[in-house]
Chain A
């Protein structure tokens, strides 16, 4: 029974799948990948004041709330012409990720907090300045590649 070639092939495939899975997990823990920003207006407008965060970093509900509140964007007026704002809104919500839609800060999402559980003094370093400054530590963050270090 166990020497049935079909069964042997199946166990082979299963073993290979397991291997691929673990290898994948290992790679992912060194280098988290998020789909990079591919929308020119989003890149330009968000990127004037901070790194243009990838849509996958927040759920659609959060992006909608951010785009609803540009007049008071974390304390600043960041308003945009209506047509530009509409194009950015649809790009962000259509390519959004998952997470807690009640939170509009990426840095308050549970997954983010879990990965950034270190001394608070790091955030006040001159080269870091803000939690939102991903690139201070993740040099390739703008391309959606977040290396663990």
Chain B
């Protein structure tokens, strides 16, 4: 437990994740997990700026041509209610400020990354991209 806390503190301190991690312990744990995975490469911390680019796109090569960005369903304003591009179904806001339950269920988070990244990017998201994405939306 101590080591996890220490790790979380180090990551948060060094990289400005502090804000993101401060909200919900479960969300902090999810971010720490991605940080640990990302560490293997040249990881120097998550970036809200990179997260914004991932969110807004536009990307090419996705499985679904009609959704070149995460914003295609989650809308360009993450504080607002999203809308599924095809079915019109409402999607609750992605910004943690507007929807504090965001990114607190690890299985749900992984399931949606697995799926949405393929549809938008044509490939799985990396651990760094997942952390960037959550960091961006935690600061919104």
Contacts and interface: CB of A to CB of B under 8 A. Distances in A.
Contact of B88 (A48, A77, A79, A136): A136
Interface stretch (A10-18, A27-35, A126-134): A126-134
B79 interface: no
A126 B114 CA distance: 30
Interface in B64-110: 64, 84, 86-89, 107
A77 B84 contact: no
B87 A129 contact: yes
Give the interface residue-count category, chain A: 10 to 19
B107 A133 contact: no
B64 A75 contact: yes
Give the interface residue-count category, chain B: 10 to 19
A49 B111 CA distance: 13
Interface in B90-140: 107, 111, 114-115, 118-119
A133 to B, nearest CB: 5
A74 to B, nearest CB: 8
B104 to A, nearest CB: 15
Tell me if A's interface is mostly helix, strand, loop or mixed. loop
Given A49-B89, A50-B89, A77 B115 contact: yes
A79 B107 contact: no
B64 A130 contact: no
B59 interface: no
B64 A76 contact: yes
Contacts of B64: 75-76
12 contacts: A49-B84, A50-B84, A51-B89, A75-B63, A76-B64, A76-B119, A79-B115, A128-B88, A129-B86, A130-B87, A133-B87, A133-B88
